[in-house]
Amino acid sequence: MSAALTPRPARRVPRWADVEPFLHLRRPAADAVSRRLARAVSVDDVERMARRRVPGAVWDYVHSGSDAEIAMARNREAFERVELRPTVFGAVATPDLTTTMLGRPAASPFVLAPTGYTRLSHHTGECAVAAAAADAGVPYTLSTYATTSIPDLAAAAPGGRNWYQLYLMRDRGVSLAHLEQAREHGYEAVMLTVDTVVTGMKRKDRRNGFAIPPELTPRTLAGLARHPGWVGGILTSEPLRFATFPEGSEHARWGVSNALREQAIRPEDIAWVKERSGLPVVVKGVLTTQDARVAVDAGADAVVLSNHGGRQLDRAPVPLELLPEVVDALGDRTEVYVDSGVRSGGDAAAALAMGARGVLVGRPYLYGLMLGGRRGVDAVLEILRSELERTMCLLGVPDVGSLGPQHVRLRGDS
């Protein structure tokens, strides 16, 4: 047989075992983490340094938005248009950041938003984030697609304000089991997400062949080789999986979630979640005044104006721009929260002045997790808290409740 006709050997598919040689490489020393965190004075600093700590596909999963990323860019553009207006005769040395959310006290008006697959960012994942939130005195929200189970998270932050984010499943028995577990383990609220009946197209994930657990191709192996600390953490901890579902459940399989989620959510589903859980219900993903009214009429205790951080419908409305209209329409009937683009204490002050009860942050704490595990999340929360305190000092505002429309406008608005 000629050499030209000699069959080529089949290419071997890489396995997790192929990265075991990296395990002898040490994770970053504690003092190295401290040095990195000491250089971080803003979320932008944390983001820049975090990008070097994880493989490219992981970074793209966390950082990117859907389709052309127009909604994600517009979220930030809206906050960049904010003008804060100080009261120069109202000097305040130590403003009070405390507030109430869902009738319970919080040390500051931040909520840590639900993020799926959090242990991809750092092997300590949701447990580290929840513990940091508990120490900071703010709520943390566990995702339906978490890589830590409902009871394990509760055990990691027993004194925390733990909320549970629910994706409603077609099989209501699956959702009911989640609600019962959340109530049993002391979660204080359910956040029903209504904007994810199907998953938005994230082009970078598609190009990277992103999956849970990561699919090991020569390209991804090359990326892993440059991040031995991340590899070592993942391989020496519990396997990555969707831990809120029983092992082996079809709901825990990557790539089938769209077909299993409820794709026709109705207002009465809010009442069903509230009745079955016995907990306050926060409806997340509202983007019109009419939907906000419908959610409250159906029993929602709070609504979150959110376009999912620009990860779902591209070109969706910008939550910050919608905020005053919704607050005005709902009055004191419910609490209104906002997310999508919040990256600083100044952003939070603007949203609060425009009527929000609290703000949700997601990517910023994931950047902190990438950079330094639990300590990185602590650092981000302290950056946000100190920025908000400093902004309120400079605005001459004594407490969160005193922030109002007189303190903010969006440049370019009439």
**What tens digit of pLDDT does each residue of 362-399 get?**
999 999 999 999 999 999 999 999 999 999 999 999 99
pLDDT at 109: 98
pLDDT at 30: 62
- Determine if residue 402 is left, alpha or beta; phi over 0 gives left, psi from -120 to 50 gives alpha, anything else beta: alpha
The Cα–Cα gap between 117 and 252 comes to 12
Percent of the chain with pLDDT over 90: 75
Short-list 288, 391, 300, CA closest to 349: 391
pLDDT averaged over every residue in the chain: 91
What pTM was estimated for this model as a whole? Answer: 0.90
The Cα–Cα gap between 260 and 254 comes to 11
The Cα–Cα gap between 193 and 190 comes to 9
Taking 60 as the threshold, does the pLDDT of residue 319 lie above it? yes
Q: pLDDT tier at 28 (50, 70, 90 boundaries)? A: low
- Amino acid identity of 342? V
Strand, coil or helix: what is 173? helix
DSSP 8-state class, residue 141: E
pLDDT at 380: 98
Catalytic sites, residue numbers: 308
Task: Give the residues across from 134 on adjacent strands.
Answer: none
**What tens digit of pLDDT does each residue of 245-279 get?**
998 888 887 666 778 999 889 999 999 999 999 99
The Cα–Cα gap between 137 and 159 comes to 9
The Cα–Cα gap between 139 and 188 comes to 9
